Structure 1
Amino acid sequence: MVAALAAWAVLLVGLLTWPLLRPGQLAARDMLVLDHPALTAAALGFGDLAARNVPQDGLLALVGTLLPASWFARVVIVVASAGAAAGAAWLTAVVRRRAGSPVTALPIAAAMTVAVWNPFAVERLLQGHWSLVVAAWLLPAIAAAGLTGRPLPQGLLIFAASLTPTGGLFAAATAVVTARGRHRLSALAVGVACCLPWVVPGLLAGAGATTSSAASVAAFAPRAEEHAGTLGALLGLGGIWNAAAVPASRTVGFALAGVLLFVVLLLSARRCPPVLLVLAAAGLSGAIAVWLLPGAVGWLVETVPGAGLLRDGQKLVALALPAYVALAGLARPIPAGLIVVLAILQVPDAPKAVQQIAPVHVAVDEGLVEFADGRDVFFPGRSGLSTRADGMVVVDPFTKALSVVQSGELVVDGVRVDAPSPRYEAAQRAWAKRDVEALAELGVGVVVDGERVVETGAPARGLPAAGVALLAWWLAVPLMLAGLWALRSRNLARSIP
């Protein structure tokens, strides 16, 4: 049984991640991982924009000093997808034993399929949200660790899932809900510790820097998929806002398989741990609320600091993944076989679709990088986006290779959902007047306007001490967990006569 399940897991993981073996660097929509990204204030969460990619960017910059960071990211993606399969097997064993059922191969295979091969993972990979997918893939294992009272594995999994704010929050929520008794407090403490690298910069930036526009809620609202509608798409863990990130199969009706899958999964609901159902209900309800109540959610993200994390409401369905996996693992033989078929039918063309995230050649002017020498660089009129040779819009490579004055302006379907950052607008005004002194006062060391390169005399600002300390803190979390666990084990050993 073990060999057959391992082979099935390898097949699932291989079919979803095979394009990552190609040479090049990762550049697809919101994903940009250079081989050697710069360690900048922005990478530490203290740049011109909100700390949305922290501590991920700081970690990649550190890794890039030792080895190609793009290959490191690929390894993380593959390992996390394998972790989804392993976590599904673990969670299945846990819930079946709790239900008094034997642990057999077919339900485990069904749970593995739901965990690895689902629309959320595929659509978010196509959008470039690789670290969010990593977090979602780890949620079943986090739930299994919580249900079995294993705080150390759970803490380490929370750490691994906390590359970005949303991943950290989802991991912490799953851990706290599933942990038993006194372990809930430790799960919460680990979650808070892992989120500090982006929480602290947000608090220091003030409310105005951590809120979003109400228009962004409509722009990032869940969308309907063919024959399933918006509700059906969400129940099937799909419905991402960007139609370009949706596999072709889901535009011709295959999303309907997700609705049928949801119905089949409900057959096991009576035996599923209630905490998982509560977590799933919270995630699905949140996503549905963003769809049905855009006005209320718009007010929330515009008023409450940090609530902008909710504007892309579809991602909340990731919280349902542990329950879906458990429900699949609790299924009887015939429903379990049907679950495997329906899960694959939701995204039958996933292996073809993921070719969009295959590594590509990314051109960066190394001469400019060397010339800038750590100074802040301002590109007038540049939005922070670039276009690949095939026409796909991607993140501007210079935003990762240099310390750039970032605009952050975002226009979706002709609607401006994010305004430019104050420093970028100030730099634009100063450059329009050719006021080099004003640019220097803004901390801009170099201006690159087309072929023209101008130095202002401003030196490199250096890295913020708080950002460096927070990244070091985050990196130390697993060591602290291991140390506390060793200390606890030693004390327990001493207490035994």
Structure 2
Amino acid sequence: MRADRLLGAWAAVLVVAVTWPLMVPGQSFALRDMVVLPDMALTHASLGFGDLPARNVPQDAVLALVPFPVLLVRLLVIGSACAAAYAGYRAGASVFGRAAAMTVAVWNPFVVERLLQGQWSLAVAAWLLPFIAFSGSVVAMWVASLTPTGALAAASLSTSRRHLLAAVLFCSPWVVTGFLTSGSGTASPASAAAFAPRAEEWVGTAGALLGLGGIWNAGAVPPSRSAGFAVFGVLLFAVLACGWRAVPTRLLALAGLGFAVAVASWLGLVGAVVEWLPGAGLLRDGQKWVILAVPAYVRAAGALQPRLAAAACALALLQVPDAPLALAALRPVEVAVPAIDDRGRDVLFVGRPTLLARPDGVPVVDPATKAMNVVESGELRIDGRLADAPSERWARAHRDPHNAELLEQLGIGVVAYPDGRVIETRAPARALPPLGLMLLGLWCGTPLVGTSKRPKLTKN
């Protein structure tokens, strides 16, 4: 009983250490890819029918439906971290094994770096995967599927026809729209190279991946990783390898698949695929697929003998010891949204960059895209060279942004210029796509497919 209390206290320490910024009072979150406003709009883009690929489907639509989106994000992030800790507890064969599994599940470079990149829903998926692997929870799969990558990762853990059917339905909002819209998810080889895994100090790219690190953006990496602490991740991998016999074959296979995709991205082998295959843009950021190794890592940690488990616990902390300090960037901030009377119409911001900057200089996705139907660019330049071309509608509008007739033909109802002028065309607000609404409703109701039986946690 005393051991359980100590483990419960340790779980609380871990969860609070990596999610405390979400507990700070505030009305909005804004950090790189993350923009969560008190009032989110249900837009064409949030349903997958915007100018760009459906990368935030159904996440943004769900946040637009609920009355308190900021609170929901807080609950999802903190709750998923708690689920990871609980899964680690159930995966352990001893007190030290449980502590190690909990630590590996909650405190790892993958979730820290993805949170710092603003990809909160991907971090949520990473925390939920061990819980899904050990419980088969359809509800956890549902939450993980807020992001396409999380949906596929959760689907890979399906163990029954019921789970597989639920996984297919969870993926439908972005799969269907990806094939029906012009934003099919293709990308260029140059952009795939830009988003490939990144080497870290003393361990290179391979070592960074073994420690579940190596995100492409160096700005989203805690300082300790650049100071050589990533070496502890390689040592952790060596220790976890001692427990591989206790890891189910399917989890080992998934881990191998995740590393294979990440390594292929590192070697430049996915460039041609993302260029011609619709939806393959999901492979562009190859490092994120090491998410598939998280359940195997947790299970291996839980199976270690006490001394090795204690070492694994220490190494897991040491590979990113400054996580709580680095994650302070997640604290709520004030977000300014352009005061435009759009009334549901499509808005074109002439000359407005895709990424803005917070007062502290950290880049943030344009908050306007979460509050109204914005004509988005999606252009990507690397070292001054065009890697991904802008969306067709944005490009056509910017060729002659003062031509009201052209803008009206493009369905743009409001135009905001850099000098502060705002003009209106006769283009009306477009109705939300019925198919997008239907797919969103299907996603919301899918958990009913697989929750007729209460899942039982197991140690396999």
| Fold match by TM threshold 0.5 | yes
Q: 2 CA distance for matches of 1:417 and 1:125?
A: 25
Paired residues, what number?
Answer: 450
- Please point out which of 99, 104, 122 is paired with 2:94: 104
Alpha-carbon shift at residue 374 of structure 1 (Å): 0.7
The alignment status of 1:411 with 2:386, answered yes or no, reads no
The alignment status of 1:134 with 2:103, answered yes or no, reads no
Q: 1 CA distance for matches of 2:360 and 2:246?
A: 49
The alignment's TM-score, normalised by the length of structure 1, stands at 0.88
Q: Runs of at least 4 residues of structure 1 off by over 4 A?
A: none
Q: Is the 8 A contact 1:111 1:328 kept in 2?
A: yes
Deviations 1:88-135 (A, max 9, x none): 22333xxxxxxxxxx321101100000000000101110111100100
Secondary structure at the aligned position of 2:229 is classed as coil
In structure 2, do the counterparts of structure 1 residues 413 and 170 end up closer, same or farther at CA, with 3 Å as the change threshold? farther
Return the structure number with greater helix share.
1
Residue aligning to 1:390:
360
Q: 2 CA distance for matches of 1:106 and 1:467?
A: 48
The alignment's TM-score, normalised by the length of structure 2, stands at 0.95
Letter in 2 for 1:466: L
Residue aligning to 1:80:
80
Correspondences of 1:134-173 after superposition (within 5 Å): 134-146=124-136, 153=137, 155-173=138-156
Letter in 2 for 1:225: E
Alpha-carbon shift at residue 426 of structure 1 (Å): 1.2
In structure 2, do the counterparts of structure 1 residues 4 and 412 end up closer, same or farther at CA, with 3 Å as the change threshold? farther
Greater Cα offset, 458-467 or 327-336: 458-467
Unaligned regions of 5+ residues in structure 2, if any? 455-460
Residue aligning to 1:189:
165
Alpha-carbon shift at residue 478 of structure 1 (Å): 1.6
**Identity percentage of aligned residues:** 54
The alignment status of 1:269 with 2:244, answered yes or no, reads yes
Q: 2 CA distance for matches of 1:358 and 1:344?
A: 22
Correspondences of 1:427-442 after superposition (within 5 Å): 427-431=397-401, 434-442=402-410
Secondary structure at the aligned position of 1:15 is classed as helix
Q: Is the 8 A contact 2:100 2:310 kept in 1?
A: yes
Alpha-carbon shift at residue 445 of structure 1 (Å): 0.4
Residue aligning to 2:303:
330
Q: 1 CA distance for matches of 2:134 and 2:426?
A: 56
Alpha-carbon shift at residue 145 of structure 1 (Å): 2.3
Alpha-carbon shift at residue 413 of structure 1 (Å): 4.1
Q: Is the 8 A contact 1:91 1:143 kept in 2?
A: no
Q: 2 CA distance for matches of 1:377 and 1:245?
A: 31
The alignment status of 1:477 with 2:446, answered yes or no, reads yes
Alpha-carbon shift at residue 354 of structure 1 (Å): 0.1
Q: 1 CA distance for matches of 2:260 and 2:342?
A: 48
The alignment status of 1:460 with 2:450, answered yes or no, reads no
Alpha-carbon shift at residue 441 of structure 1 (Å): 1.2
Q: 1 CA distance for matches of 2:181 and 2:187?
A: 14
Deviations 1:142-166 (A, max 9, x none): 11124xxxxxx2x222111000111
Q: Is the 8 A contact 1:91 1:141 kept in 2?
A: no
Deviations 1:451-484 (A, max 9, x none): 11111011111211111111111111123433x5
Secondary structure at the aligned position of 1:237 is classed as coil
Deviations 1:28-75 (A, max 9, x none): 011111111111111111111110000000000011xx22x1221111
In structure 2, do the counterparts of structure 1 residues 43 and 385 end up closer, same or farther at CA, with 3 Å as the change threshold? same
Q: 1 CA distance for matches of 2:398 and 2:248?
A: 56
The alignment status of 1:42 with 2:15, answered yes or no, reads no
Q: 2 CA distance for matches of 1:126 and 1:44?
A: 25
Deviations 1:221-279 (A, max 9, x none): 11111111110000000000111111000111100000000000111112321211111
Q: 1 CA distance for matches of 2:91 and 2:167?
A: 21
Q: 2 CA distance for matches of 1:25 and 1:414?
A: 32
Letter in 2 for 1:376: D
Deviations 1:267-293 (A, max 9, x none): 11123212111111111122112112x
Q: 2 CA distance for matches of 1:105 and 1:417?
A: 51
Residue aligning to 1:95:
none
- Please point out which of 52, 56, 60 is paired with 2:55: 52
Q: 2 CA distance for matches of 1:27 and 1:415?
A: 28
Residue aligning to 1:21:
23
Q: Is the 8 A contact 1:409 1:419 kept in 2?
A: yes
Correspondences of 1:303-452 after superposition (within 5 Å): 303-365=276-338, 367-368=339-340, 371-431=341-401, 434-450=402-418, 451-452=420-421
Kindly name which structure, 1 or 2, has the bigger radius of gyration based on alpha carbons: 1
Letter in 1 for 2:391: S
Q: Is the 8 A contact 1:90 1:141 kept in 2?
A: no
- Please point out which of 226, 242, 263 is paired with 1:288: 263
Residue aligning to 1:232:
207
Q: 2 CA distance for matches of 1:203 and 1:239?
A: 31
Alpha-carbon shift at residue 437 of structure 1 (Å): 1.3
Alpha-carbon shift at residue 429 of structure 1 (Å): 1.9
Alpha-carbon shift at residue 485 of structure 1 (Å): 4.4
Residue aligning to 1:98:
none
Deviations 1:436-459 (A, max 9, x none): 111111110000002111110111
Alpha-carbon shift at residue 383 of structure 1 (Å): 3.0
Unaligned regions of 5+ residues in structure 1, if any? 93-102, 147-152, 487-497
In structure 2, do the counterparts of structure 1 residues 275 and 20 end up closer, same or farther at CA, with 3 Å as the change threshold? same
Q: Is the 8 A contact 1:236 1:258 kept in 2?
A: yes
